[in-house]
Amino acid sequence: MERGGTVYILTNFTHTTLYVGVTSDLLFRMIEHREKFYGGSFSARFNLNKLVYYNSFLTIEEAIAEEKRIKGGSRIKKIKLIQRINPEWKDLWEEVKEW
């Protein structure tokens, strides 16, 4: 049985830094980010724990391909992607933690 995947974008309180990631378990991965489980990681160092975008796929391979596409784009393209689904830049963690 194939496992799906989710692409997500995190930012900090001031929206100055964006992080694009992929995971097969968004709830678990967000807990890791929020608790700074990997203290030396990019997201921990820049305090990136505000989930502003996520998109789920049927397979992890599709999610990885989308992550690469998003990472290859400019900051402006990432901002437009976020604003298309989350124009107020709300922290979507509130949705995810209810899963």
Task: Please give the Cα distance from 3 to 82 (Å, whole number).
Answer: 25
How does the average pLDDT of the chain come out, rounded?
Answer: 95
Q: Is the pTM of this model over 0.85?
A: yes
pLDDT beyond 90 at 1: no
CATH architecture of 5-96: 3-Layer(aba) Sandwich (3.40)
Dihedral (CA of 63, 97, 32, 83) sign = positive
For tokens 């298309």, the residue is 84
Q: Which alpha helices (DSSP H) does 46-91 contain, by range?
A: 60-72, 75-85
Going through the chain in order, the beta strands assigned E by DSSP cover 5-11, 18-23, 50-57
Q: Are 24 and 8 a contacting pair, CB within 8 Å?
A: no
Give CA separation, 70 vs 39, 95, 97, in Å: 25, 22, 24
Express each pLDDT in 50-80 by its tens digit.
999 999 999 999 999 999 999 999 999 999 9
Residue 35 has pLDDT above 90, yes or no: yes
